[in-house]
Structures are given as C-alpha cells and as structure tokens.
Amino acid sequence: MRTWRRFFSHWQSWLGLLLVGFFLAVAALAPRIAPPDDLANPGDFKVVGRRTDQMPRPPNAQLPLGTASGQIDVFYSVVWGTRAALRFGLIVAGSAATIGVLVGAVSGYAGGRGSAITLRITDAFLAFPVIASVWLFQLVILPPVTGADPTPLMAFLAESNITPVMVALIAFSWMPYARLINTGITRLKTAEFVLASQSLGASRRRLIFRHLLPNSISPAIVLLARDIGGMVILEAAFVFIGLSSGGPWAEMLVNNRNWIVGVAGNPLTYWWVYLPPTIALILFGIGWNLLGDGLNDALNPRDQ
C-alpha cells in the first residue's frame, strides 16, 4: 500500500499513467473510433480516394486529419497504429525482459565461473551495434532472391507477424535485464532468509523463483516499462532510415517525408501528414518513460 502511495504522490506518475491508459483505450476502441472496411481483417491503412492521387488533402468534416499521399486516411492510421505500437513494444520488451531475467537469475544463483562466463557473453552482446544486428537479421530472415520459396522459419515468422527488426531487438536487448538480475541475486543469495530456506531443504527452483527473484525484480520492471516506449521509437528510426518496414506511424512518416517542407519552405503547409504520427510517437514514448520513472521511485528499496 505504501508503494502505491509513493507512486501516486508524484504528478509525473499520474501523467504517465494517463498517457498509457489513453493509448490502451484507443487501441481497445479502434474499431469504433475508426471503423475499417473489413472488421474481420482490418488493415493499418485505409484509402479514401484514388490511390494514384499523391496530393495530400487537408482535414474536413469527414476526415478529421485529412489524407496523406495516396489518399491514405491519416486519422485511421494514427488510431490503428496504436495497436501496432503496443503490440511491438510489449512483444519486444517483454521477450527481452523474460530472456534477460532468466539468464540473470540462473547465472546469479550459480555464481563462480558460470556467472563470470555469462557476464562476458552479455558484454559481447552489448558491444555489438543494434543497427548492424537489424541489417544482419534482415539478410538471414528475408529471402535473398525475389520470388524464392520461403523457408520454414520465414513462414513461421510471417504467420506470427514477427518482423526481422523484432527478432533483432529481442536478441540484442536482453543484456541489461540479465545484468540487473544477476547483480541483485548475487547480493541476496547470502541473505539470512535465503540461508534459512536452504537449511530447511528448499530446492534451487524454489529459492530462485520464490525468494530471490521476487526480491530483485523491481529494477527489471522499471526498465521494462521504459523499454516498451523506447523500442517503438527505435523501430520508427530504423524504418525512417530504410532498414526495415514497421508500424503505421513510422510508415506514414517515411511515405510522406517529401511533404514535410511545403510551399516556400513552410513546414506547416501539409502539417497533417507528419504532425499526428510524430506527436503519437512522442507521447507514447513519454508516457511509458514517466510510468517507468514513477515505478522507479515507488519500488526503489533505498527510499522505502
């Protein structure tokens, strides 16, 4: 109870919770807010005119945010992009956190040479550039020749809607979690309550998952909350520089980059083609970061 009082005592925590709650609500209510043409198979984009018409149309009564190049409904893509962003952030950050927590817990409890080797492997992964990993997984997962038959791995990832950038970010984002959990469990495994459980015959699994992990998981939870927003922004950056495809927000920015600077160099001439997805990305990242900061203040054992 005291933890939640500390969390709600800061206005930043309230703001983060409201922003995250807003995006969750928009994602849940997307079919009502922006009805798709096919409710059973909604797409990320909705064409409301001639696709060959590349001139963006300003907002009007029927289209609250106008259309982008190719007569794409901007409002529809911003709304449904919320679902794509949440899915990407939760899958990537959640998977990386799960791998890192398990690796850190096992290596921290084992200690000795096993822990040292695990940390050296972790350092090696940390030294590998993420942008290079995205390029590498693009080559490994995507077919090198156009029209080639997909491999079983490619077919599985396509059916699961898992992209190469997802795999790359998961493979190279678990290390901070492993280090945090390793450090916490290494410190706690000599605590009196752990030694008492050992003397009573508790198994290794019970010691790790019942005693050690629950008492060292707080920093990983904070990092997870921050990473959900950070991964979405990182994906948008990779899409913008042309390394991969991504969610509707990033794709809209890429497809309409030529309209960012309008007539006479005025960036507000076609503001509706880039400001809505940009603001959505910024608020999404801020919301999860503020939520992580609030959890950090509430779960920090030094402030208890």
pLDDT digits (tens, 9 = 90+) for 227-254: 999 999 999 988 888 877 788 999 999 8
Nearest alpha carbon to residue 93 among 19, 182, 172: 172
- The first and second tokens of residue 217, run together, are 């998981």
pLDDT average, residue stretch 89-111: 92
pLDDT of residue 5: 79
pLDDT of residue 144: 56
Q: Give me the CATH code for the 16-34+65-303 domain, please.
A: 1.10.3720.10
pLDDT digits (tens, 9 = 90+) for 148-161: 566 676 677 667 77
**Confidence band, pLDDT 50/70/90 cuts, at residue 19:** very high
Reply yes or no on whether the pLDDT at 13 is more than 70.
yes
Give kind and range of the element (H or E) at residue 216: none
pLDDT of residue 264: 60
pLDDT average, residue stretch 127-152: 72
pLDDT digits (tens, 9 = 90+) for 165-210: 888 899 999 999 999 999 989 888 888 887 888 787 778 788 888 8
- The first and second tokens of residue 181, run together, are 């959990």
Residue carrying the six token digits 């904070």: 222
Reply yes or no on whether the pLDDT at 38 is more than 80.
yes
pLDDT of residue 86: 95
User: Which of 265 and 101 is assigned the larger pLDDT?
Assistant: 101
Mean pLDDT of the chain: 86
Cα gap 13→225, rounded to integer Å: 12
Beta-carbon contacts of residue 69 (< 8 Å; ≥ 6 apart): 54, 55, 56, 255, 256, 258, 259, 273
- The first and second tokens of residue 254, run together, are 């890429």
Reply yes or no on whether the pLDDT at 303 is more than 60.
no
Domain boundaries, the chain: 16-34+65-303
Residue carrying the six token digits 């309209």: 259
pLDDT digits (tens, 9 = 90+) for 42-85: 888 888 888 888 888 889 888 999 999 889 999 999 999 999 99
**112: how many CB neighbours lie within 10 A of its CB?**
8
